[in-house]
Structure 1
């Protein structure tokens, strides 16, 4: 096993080049790959030496192989100073990546499958955005329009179905979560890896979902891919594990177990907004989102009011319509406008929301009562006009109270 004398990398801003450090560490997780390992490492080493302008390291992560894989890896490490070997006593792709990435000195951490199904011409496009600091993670995708893929119909169907499931269950936006060709900046990995639980093939998906929810930028590289017909991935057992992983991850996100809000504040890239003198950062975005929620709430309020006006009094219809839409409005603004997830402070915020509801009720009901006292019974059109005006004023009051009181940042 080779290691070398590696100093700590500068992780401020974009990854920095250093003469004594590998800029990129490419991990190849292996289990019983005594035949394919040597030609793959030699091919990868030759490509990196000729086509990548950064100091590199290749790490063979042996996952408790029972054949001569470890001996082959050690022989390669003795021949190439830029190759090192890490032996894991237990199997698990995720476990191996976590162990190597957590201790690597390289500024950019990557991995690829030992079969080198991905054309190596995609290596530089994968790591360059991370070296420059433009992106935080990078993944190869076989599902991009520009990708060229050779694989069986069964695997194609399973891959597309799995990624479609991720989009609908975990709201992912990456096109291909399972391509064995990914990279991450070391300082980002230091924050995310302790939160990733899976030690197997779901590791990739869990890492990507966590990165997306944390507001990190993920760069996608269309790849040329030739599937390995001798792949040892067991489709049925992997699918069962993935389904359990999706359920676990969805529950963790829904209950606030994962601190994605804190990670977003610490690591995420804030949305670009036009700089307006005198306008606090984020206010423009919040106003637009609050307005969208407000339009939906107002329409729902008016529909409910008209439906309830005849069986109830105008005041009764106003109370029920306002209460129903206020509850939905508060929940939508909590998640969509002010980007708060998880159960933390939810009870307090709901109680404060009810107080805001009471103030809005006093304003709208008081306006309606004044209109009735001045003009008697009002025709429905005029009554609606009065309520729309009062509701607009109440909406402005709600935004100020939600921003400065209910959902204020600590």
Structure 2
């Protein structure tokens, strides 16, 4: 997956939604040593005048130099923190970040490679500040512009079918890697979540629906997928298995 960099807007217009915002931004990372320095540089520039924002990189047991690079960068960036965890999956990494987040207003997460441009935070933060409990970036609502390889298109069609059948959320896109929550809502949802792998997004949003939280979807522009490590059969099986677990957990009252 490859990022398309968008030009940064002027600080006065770009950071209005983030001004005086108490935000914890979580970046789950696994073997991102070749991309994390550039991502953090871009995030640092974007958040340069956003007071009260912290960035938490949760290293999910990387076997490359991801953690060491972040640790080094954090020495000169007071807004940056590192959490090192054993490899359990993206869901476990985000859950750990939410648990450790210090923000009192908002908690958000983005994929560490910034395949979803950092600028999406503008609309996500604004939506939550305007009354949403959870704001979800979406690749399937009007205004979204997405280019994906055939393998991901095939996997997405199948996964969306099973989400609708097993854990309906009324959302078009549960899996896009950019979401923002009211801080207390994030803590409530992730304290109840159990899935460690990629289906954690669907689980958290399903719990949000069960608990009556207000969810909104906002379009994502200019995402381009040119590389993928997805294994169509293996990863589809794992995701469907986890969706079945989510439905079973709900039937047993484990999300109450």
Q: TM-score range by the shorter chain?
A: 0.7 to 0.9
Report which of the two has the higher share of strand: 2
Is 1:138 aligned to residue 162 of structure 2?
no
- 2:111 corresponding residue in structure 1: 113
Of residues 168, 189, 211 in structure 2, which corresponds to 1:192? 189
Matches within 5 A, 1:147-296: 147-259=144-256
Gaps of 5+ in 2: 1-17
Q: 1:114 to 1:258 in 2, by over 3 A?
A: closer
Instruction: Give the structure with higher Rg (CA).
Output: 1
Aligned-partner Cα distance in 2 for 1:243–1:253: 15
Instruction: Please state how far the C-alpha of 1:254 moved relative to its aligned partner.
Output: 3.0
* Residue-by-residue CA offset, 1:223-250 (whole Å, 9 max, x unaligned): 0142343344444332212111121222
Q: Report SS of the residue matched to 1:25.
A: strand
Matches within 5 A, 1:296-335: none
- 1:43 corresponding residue in structure 2: 42
User: Conserved in 1, the CA contact under 8 Å of 2:159 and 2:240?
Assistant: no
Instruction: Please state how far the C-alpha of 1:194 moved relative to its aligned partner.
Output: 2.3
- 2:29 corresponding residue in structure 1: 30
Of residues 58, 61, 68 in structure 2, which corresponds to 1:61? 58
- TM-score, normalised to structure 1, is 0.54
Aligned-partner Cα distance in 2 for 1:70–1:40: 14
* Residue-by-residue CA offset, 1:256-298 (whole Å, 9 max, x unaligned): 3431xxxxxxxxxxxxxxxxxxxxxxxxxxxxxxxxxxxxxxx
Q: 1:40 to 1:165 in 2, by over 3 A?
A: same
User: Conserved in 1, the CA contact under 8 Å of 2:149 and 2:225?
Assistant: no
Aligned-partner Cα distance in 2 for 1:223–1:18: 22
- 2:121 corresponding residue in structure 1: 123
Is 1:93 aligned to residue 90 of structure 2?
yes
User: Conserved in 1, the CA contact under 8 Å of 2:31 and 2:66?
Assistant: yes
Aligned-partner Cα distance in 2 for 1:138–1:169: 22
Runs ≥4 residues deviating over 4 A: none
Bigger RCO of structures 1 and 2 (CA < 8 A, at least 6 apart): 2
User: Conserved in 2, the CA contact under 8 Å of 1:142 and 1:225?
Assistant: no
Q: Report SS of the residue matched to 2:75.
A: helix
- TM-score, normalised to structure 2, is 0.85
Q: 1:248 to 1:95 in 2, by over 3 A?
A: same
Q: CA RMSD in A?
A: 2.1
Q: Report SS of the residue matched to 1:49.
A: coil
Instruction: Please state how far the C-alpha of 1:190 moved relative to its aligned partner.
Output: 2.3
User: Conserved in 2, the CA contact under 8 Å of 1:201 and 1:238?
Assistant: no
User: Conserved in 1, the CA contact under 8 Å of 2:32 and 2:113?
Assistant: no
Q: 1:233 to 1:29 in 2, by over 3 A?
A: farther
Aligned-partner Cα distance in 2 for 1:18–1:45: 15
**Aligned residues, how many?**
238
Aligned-partner Cα distance in 2 for 1:34–1:138: 29
Gaps of 5+ in 1: 1-16, 260-410
Aligned-partner Cα distance in 2 for 1:225–1:234: 24
Q: Report SS of the residue matched to 1:81.
A: coil
Q: 1:255 to 1:65 in 2, by over 3 A?
A: closer
Q: 1:205 to 1:54 in 2, by over 3 A?
A: farther
